[in-house]
């Protein structure tokens, strides 16, 4: 990965003001890079600050210290160059799937013809071509997340940010969605930052795992799954059987365990 950085997180801390003079430090001194076209996974126990970091990248929270840089500019508020997919469903229920996917392009003034073609392309990419004209309320949870992903990608962001995007899905659907994301990353060359607390998901998706410790969240370790030999494999069964998979899983489990103990 000789690519440059799409996103740089430089010594970022975040304190939340709880009122009455109290505050909590969610994350402290976070530094890492998100290389162009790579999938970076933020992994760590619940409450370690993964969402906080992702939200600061999106511009939805402001760092208390440090800065986040995209394309040479310091992040200052949300913008279309950093699209975000949430764990909760965010489909606009009053719009058809197609209109949902066109939404970002429409508000950004993309001409209608191009909009339609782009939407068509990304609806197909996430496998929803049969459902393009139905309302999201008629779709299953997994399909709704596909809508959200297609909508974000169709808006052509520099970076796709996802906060436990498959956390609400059943195991089988989650698996399919993970494979879909590897395919999407391969086909669109989109840089992705994915938050999860699921070890398997992290190993399967990541070109690089940033492991966070808790209270306050700090980068504990950056891990590149060497056993994948720099390749992306879109079949989870294959990945799980590769040499080195279980070693990495064991290592991550150990890290998680340590964090868990730290809480007691």
Ligand X SMILES: Nc1ncnc2c1ncn2[C@@H]1O[C@H](COP(=O)(O)OP(=O)(O)O)[C@@H](O)[C@H]1O
**Interface residue list for ligand X (CB under 6 A):** 16, 24, 26, 44, 46-52
Please tell me the distance from the alpha carbon of residue 93 to that of residue 72, in angstroms, as a whole number: 37
Among ligand X, Mg ion, other proteins, none, the one that 167 touches (CB under a kind-dependent 5 to 8 A) is: none
Pick one of 93, 129, 235, 258: the residue that binds other proteins (CB under 8 A). 93
| Helix (H) / strand (E) containing 65 | strand 65-70
Taking the least distance from each CB to other proteins, the nearer of 54 and 205 is 54
23 is a contact residue toward other proteins (CB under 8 A): no
Minimum distance of other proteins from residue 203's CB (angstroms): 27
Taking the least distance from each CB to ligand X, the nearer of 13 and 145 is 13
Non-local (6+) Cβ contacts of 32 within 8 A are 9, 40, 210, 219, 222
For the purposes of burial, counting CB atoms within 10 Å of the CB of 69, is it exposed (0-12), middle (13-18) or buried (19 or more)? middle
User: Cβ atoms within 10 A of the Cβ of 153, count?
Assistant: 23
Minimum distance of Mg ion from residue 58's CB (angstroms): 13
Residue with tokens 């459902």: 131
Minimum distance of ligand X from residue 8's CB (angstroms): 20
| Helix (H) / strand (E) containing 22 | strand 22-35
Binding site for other proteins (CB under 8 A): 58-60, 78-80, 82-84, 86, 88, 90, 92-94, 103-104, 107-108, 135-138, 148, 151-152, 155, 161
């Amino acid at each position: 990965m000789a690519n440059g950085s799409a996103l740089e997180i430089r010594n970022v801390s975040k304190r939340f003001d709880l009122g009455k003079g109290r505050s909590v430090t969610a994350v402290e001194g976070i530094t890492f890079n998100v290389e162009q076209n790579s999938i970076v996974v933020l992994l760590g126990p619940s409450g370690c600050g993964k969402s906080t970091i992702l939200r600061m990248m999106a511009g939805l929270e402001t760092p208390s210290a440090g800065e986040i840089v995209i394309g040479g500019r310091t992040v200052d508020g949300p913008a279309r160059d950093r699209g975000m997919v949430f764990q909760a469903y965010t489909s606009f229920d009053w719009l058809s799937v197609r209109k949902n996917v066109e939404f970002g392009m429409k508000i950004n003034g993309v001409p209608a013809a191009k909009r339609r073609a782009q939407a068509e392309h990304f609806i197909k990419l996430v496998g929803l071509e049969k459902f393009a004209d139905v309302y999201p309320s008629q779709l299953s949870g997994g399909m709704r997340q596909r809508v959200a992903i297609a909508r974000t990608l169709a808006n052509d962001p520099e970076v796709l940010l996802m906060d436990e995007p498959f956390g609400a899905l059943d195991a089988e659907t989650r698996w399919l969605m993970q494979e879909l994301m590897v395919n999407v990353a391969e086909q669109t060359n989109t840089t992705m930052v994915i938050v999860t607390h699921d070890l398997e998901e992290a190993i399967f998706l990541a070109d690089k795992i940033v492991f966070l410790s808790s209270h306050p969240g700090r980068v504990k370790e950056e891990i590149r799954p060497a056993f994948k030999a720099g390749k992306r494999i879109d079949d989870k069964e294959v990945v799980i059987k590769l040499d080195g998979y279980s070693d990495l899983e064991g290592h991550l489990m150990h890290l998680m365990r340590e964090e868990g103990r730290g809480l007691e």
